[in-house]
Amino acid sequence: MTTAAPVRKDRAMELQKELIASYFTRLSRAPQTGAKTVATFVPGNLSELLQCFDAVPVLPEINALQSGMRKLSGNYISEAERRGHSEDVCTYVKCDLGMFDAGNVGPTGEKLPVPDLLLLSYTGCFTFMKWFELLREKLDRPSVMLHVPYQGQGKATPEMRRYIVEQLERVVIPELEKLTGVKFDVDRLREKLALSVKAEDDLVAVWESAKNRPSPIDGYFGGVYYIGPIFTAFRGTQEGCDYYSVLREETMQRVREGRGPVTPDGEMSEEKFRLVVEGPPNWTHFREFWKMFSDEGAVAVASTYTKVGGLYDRGFRHDPKDPLGTLADYCLGCYTNHSLPDRVDLISKYVEEYEADGFLINSVKSCASFSAGQLLILREVEKRTGRTGGFIESDLVDPRYFSAANIKNRIESYLQMVDQKRAAAAGAAS
């Protein structure tokens, strides 16, 4: 039996790995240091606000995906199903619950603490609410909900914004003060938000570098490394700023040298296909999934999954001058809080702006937030852009729903269609 070669990473990917490892170490040591821990979710998370209270976030989705990448999620999911959870329930949820039952050991091998508070900043996923209900019953911990209105009409209104700010003032901040014994300091929050802006500027420059040919980055598989710090515990920190400064410089150097992205097998030698990808990746077979694209010379120049924690590339930046208002804007603007027409519009713009040859949807079995309406998205984006759309199916962290042969065949067939359409268009133009 041969051992798979290690995934090759660029410097920024290695730094990201170090940052996330340091986060899990800090989290695991919270009972000894006395830091309070607050469970919350990636979309709409209030990282800067939590830091004002010296609290450490616990991110259940990150725990689940890390478990998936380490081939641990299958057993956790099976355990949750043995305890009565349906096969159709989000596998992040079942993985998280199974992980608690198995001892709650994190990806660094250290036991993670039971969170002191459950803070639900709901942003577009109804499953989040049920997830925290289950955790509240299992862990006997207090819960706080920051209700974020859905952008059903395609825009956030002043009333929505005011509604969120009032919840922050009347519910969330008082609960954090009560939990930690730390008085809220708005100037400290402003300082955190100013750091966020710096990181956001650098990240957007990295995303937009993919408009070059060849693209110096993969905006989907490589992109999940890049979003790690800003979507977890490092937005609003100097460490986060330092990371994104390194990432931006490294990316711009690749642009200057005309180099393509780093793939699991090293640097891509030739960019053959430029794609926009919709939907989360599969985590249990992440390297294998990535290679199905990179082996064909296919690069994701933009993706929607990397925007679940903020649509910075569409103009949003945290505003230190309006600290609570900007937190409300952030929560309202996360990708999964947008309507289907908004998502169609965003993907269509990505296809045009990044000069993509086509777009591909990875429909995740257990994630309704992403998968609902994706066939409609496929038809509408094809109609608007004239580019060929593709459709594959997998799951987040359930290894039973990753059929490598089926997915590989679909990707290869799809890329053949893209190539034939390009050839036909080139022939007609000549």
Count CA atoms within 13 Å of residue 79 on its CB side: 15
Say how far apart CA 183 and CA 186 lie, in whole Å.
10
The SS3 call for residue 314 is helix
Residue range 125-146: mean pLDDT, rounded: 91
Residue 39 has phi, psi (to 5 degrees) of: -75, 135
Q: Are strands 117-121 and 143-146 parallel, antiparallel or unpaired?
A: parallel
Q: Is the pLDDT of residue 330 over 90?
A: yes
301: nearest Cα among 270, 258, 279, 271: 271
CA angle 12, 68, 55 (to 5 degrees): 65
Say how far apart CA 121 and CA 129 lie, in whole Å.
9
Residues 16 and 225 sit within 8 Å (Cβ to Cβ): yes
Most confident of 14-18, 85-89, 321-325: 321-325
- Domain boundaries defined on the chain: 11-429
Q: Are strands 37-39 and 56-58 parallel, antiparallel or unpaired?
A: parallel
Q: What is the pLDDT of residues 145-188, one digit of tens each?
A: 999 999 988 889 999 999 999 999 999 999 999 999 999 999 99
Supply the pLDDT for residue 170.
98
Confidence at 1, pLDDT banded by 50, 70, 90: very low
Mean pLDDT of the chain: 93
Say how far apart CA 31 and CA 86 lie, in whole Å.
33
- The encoded tokens of residue 244 equal 């994104």
Confidence at 2, pLDDT banded by 50, 70, 90: very low
Regarding pTM above 0.85, the answer is: yes
For the chain, percent of residues with pLDDT exceeding 90: 82
Residue 136 has phi, psi (to 5 degrees) of: -60, -40
What HEC string does 213-231 produce? CCCCCCCCCCHHHHHHHHH
Q: Is the pLDDT of residue 189 over 90?
A: yes
* 39, 48, 190, 198, 311 from 320: Cα distances, Å: 25, 11, 5, 12, 18
- The encoded tokens of residue 424 equal 């036909």
Q: Is the pLDDT of residue 132 over 50?
A: yes
Say how far apart CA 117 and CA 121 lie, in whole Å.
12
Say how far apart CA 288 and CA 25 lie, in whole Å.
28
The SS3 call for residue 39 is strand
Residue with tokens 């296909």: 273
Q: Is the pLDDT of residue 97 over 60?
A: yes
* 21, 86, 96, 209, 244 from 205: Cα distances, Å: 25, 42, 34, 6, 10
Residue 330 has phi, psi (to 5 degrees) of: -60, -50
Handedness of CA 260, 264, 270, 271 (dihedral sign): negative
Q: Going edge to edge, which strands form the sheet with 388-394? A: 298-303, 273-278, 358-364, 388-394
Supply the pLDDT for residue 125.
84
Q: Is the pLDDT of residue 6 over 80?
A: no
Supply the pLDDT for residue 109.
85
One-letter identity of residue 395: D
Supply the pLDDT for residue 9.
64
Residues 361 and 300 sit within 8 Å (Cβ to Cβ): no
Q: What is the dihedral of CA 167, 169, 173, 177, to 10 degrees?
A: -140
Residue range 53-81: mean pLDDT, rounded: 94
Supply the pLDDT for residue 8.
59
Kindly write down the DSSP assignment for every residue of 344-379, as one continuous string: HHHHHHHHHHTT-SEEEEEEETT-HHHHTTHHHHHH
Say how far apart CA 307 and CA 262 lie, in whole Å.
21
Q: What is the pLDDT of residues 290-312, one digit of tens each?
A: 999 999 999 999 999 999 989 99
Residues 347 and 401 sit within 8 Å (Cβ to Cβ): no
Say how far apart CA 304 and CA 326 lie, in whole Å.
22
Q: What is the pLDDT of residues 358-415, one digit of tens each?
A: 999 999 988 888 888 999 999 999 999 999 999 999 999 999 999 999 999 999 999 9
More confident residue, 108 or 225: 225
